[in-house]
Amino acid sequence: MSENVVALAGGVGGAKLALGLSCLLNPEEFTLIVNTGDDDIFHGLYVCPDLDTVMYTLAGLSNTETGWGLSSESFKALSMLNRYGCDTWFNLGDLDLGTHIMRKYLLDKKHNLTEITAYLCQKLGVLCQVLPMTNDTVRTVIKTAGAELSMQQYFVRDKSEPEVLDIKYVGSDTAQPNEEFSNALDRVDKLIFCPSNPFLSIGPILALSGIRDRMMNLKKNNHLRIAVSPIVSGSSVKGPAGKIMHELGYEVSCVTVAELYRDVCDVFVIDVQDEKHCKDIESLGIKPLVAPIIMNSKADKIALAKTLLELEVI
């Protein structure tokens, strides 16, 4: 039986599960909504790190060591920019720059980010629908003791070292969710929250006007909303989610993530190492599901995707 699956994703962690899901679903059954709060402009080019990470992963082109960028990449253009005195802490490879030049060309021709992403995906052979969360501008701004930083300044330039005091999604109050995202929610059977950072990746998507309410109301209509924990055994599987959670005053635990998604989640998937937290998750009114959720190999990604797709409405 065919079903409509909508998955929300950020960068590397989200892309892993997206790949697993894309191996099991027909392309027309699968829509991916990707965070654009990390987007930024480098050397005059508009860069969408999460969209590109998802797109390259689904196309089988990604650098499997870093999880971002392209495999067999070189950085000659960047070394030239360095000679010209540009800041080159954001590692844009030569092949990757081709994507950003193409995106800039299409933006200048007044195409929106949804159209451009569809074009790039089609050219790279990605068949499922990959959608930016919005065509408007939302920027994740990280307030630290020293300064307010963009996501890439915080994450790449400053290596997630500054203490995080607050996180804002600037523009989210006026940005319109992508119309196709809204349409996908009209026909969704299963909504999946990939194991992406709840503050930096999923947070900006949920902050878009009307989106959290739409997802809260899905419960009433027999849809299944599943979230996969990005926290295993008290620390993030990848990236600074655990560090940020601690600095914002939360306990670093999968239960905290379940609490953050409490109103939009029916089933919360935790790793086998976290089985002891089942009761705490149940007490939030969410059904816990214990499964191996660390995705190293392609087989791991497909196995987790299969577990999620086999879940039935309770």
Write out the residues near ligand FO1 by the rule CB under 6 A: 10-12, 38, 47, 49-50, 52-53, 68-69, 90-92, 96, 151-152, 155-156, 201
Residue 187 burial by Cβ neighbours in a 10 Å radius (0-12, 13-18, 19+): exposed
Which candidate, 306, 307, 266, places its Cα nearest to that of 25? Answer: 306
Report the residue number, 159 or 187, with the smaller CB distance to ligand FO1: 159
Report the residue number, 4 or 62, with the smaller CB distance to ligand FO1: 62
Least distance from ligand FO1 to the Cβ atom of residue 2, Å: 31
Could you give the angle at the alpha carbon of 94 between the alpha carbons of 109 and 71, nearest 5°?
115
Residue nearest to ligand FO1 (CB): 11
Report the residue number, 50 or 274, with the smaller CB distance to ligand FO1: 50
Report the sign of the C-alpha dihedral through residues 270, 303, 22, 241, in that order. Answer: positive
Report the residue number, 16 or 190, with the smaller CB distance to ligand FO1: 16
Tokens 């590397």 map to which residue?
12
Nearest-angstrom CA–CA distance, 108 and 100: 12
Least distance from ligand FO1 to the Cβ atom of residue 159, Å: 8
| C-alpha to C-alpha distances, 303 to 113, 270, 300, 310, nearest whole angstrom | 32, 14, 5, 11
Neighbours of 226 (CB within 10 A): 23
Least distance from ligand FO1 to the Cβ atom of residue 151, Å: 6
Report the residue number, 37 or 288, with the smaller CB distance to ligand FO1: 37
